[in-house]
Structure 1
Amino acid sequence: MTKVIADITMSLDGYVTGPGADVEHGLGDAEELHEWVFSQDRVDTEILEGATAVSGAVVMGRRLFDTVDGPHGWNETMGYGADQVGTPPFVVVTHSPPSEVRLERDLGMRFTFAAGVSEAIEQARLVAGEGHVVIMGGGDVIAQALDGDLVDELRLHIAPMLLGGGTPLFGRGTRRRYRQAEVRPSTNAIHVTYERVTDPDAAR
Structure 2
Amino acid sequence: MTKRPTYVGYIAMSLDGFIATPDGSVEWLDPFNEAVATDGGDGGYGDFIAGIDALITGRTTHEQVLGWGWPYGDRANYVLTRQPGYTNDHVTAAGDIDTLKDAIAQAGHKKVWVMGGGKTQRAALDAGMFDELRVFVMPTILGGGRPLFSPGRQHNLTYVSSREHGGGMLQIDYANKD
- CA displacement, residues 82-116 of structure 1 (integer Å, 9 cap, x when unaligned): xxxx4311111122445542xxxxxxxx4222211
In the alignment, structure 1 residue 89 sits paired with structure 2 residue 92? no
On the 8 A contact 1:59/1:92 being kept in 2, the answer is: yes
Gaps of at least 5 residues in structure 2 are none
TM-score by length of 1: 0.73
SS in 1 for 2:92: strand
Match of 2:100 in 1: 120
1:62 aligns with 2:59: yes
Q: 1:111 to 1:143 in 2, by over 3 A?
A: same
Q: 1:36 touches 1:44 (CA, 8 Å); kept in 2?
A: no
Instruction: Name the structure 1 match of 2:154.
Output: 175
Structure with the larger strand share: 2
Unaligned runs of 5+ in 1: 81-85, 102-109, 199-204
Do the aligned partners of residues 196 and 36 (structure 1) sit closer, same or farther apart at CA in structure 2, a change above 3 Å counting?
same
Residues 98, 122 of structure 1: alpha-carbon distance in 2 compared, 3 angstrom cutoff = closer
CA distance in 2, matches of 1:150, 1:185: 27
Report the secondary structure of 1:156's partner residue: strand
1:159 deviates by: 1.0
Instruction: Determine the C-alpha separation between the residues in 1 that align with 2:74 and 2:32.
Output: 21
CA contact 1:117–1:144 (8 Å) conserved in 2: yes
Any residues of structure 2 matched to 1:136-147 within 5 Å, and which? 136-147=115-126
Question: Residue 17 of structure 2 aligns to which amino acid in structure 1?
Answer: G
2:36 counterpart SS class:
coil
CA RMSD of aligned residues (A): 2.3
2:19 is matched with: 16
TM-score by length of 2: 0.83
Residue 10 of structure 2 is matched in structure 1 by: 7
2:35, 2:166 within 8 Å by CA — same for their partners in 1?
Answer: no
Change (3 A) 1:87 1:150: same
Secondary structure in 1 matching 2:100: helix
Moved >6 Å (runs of 4+)? none
Separation in 2, partners of 1:143, 1:43? 33
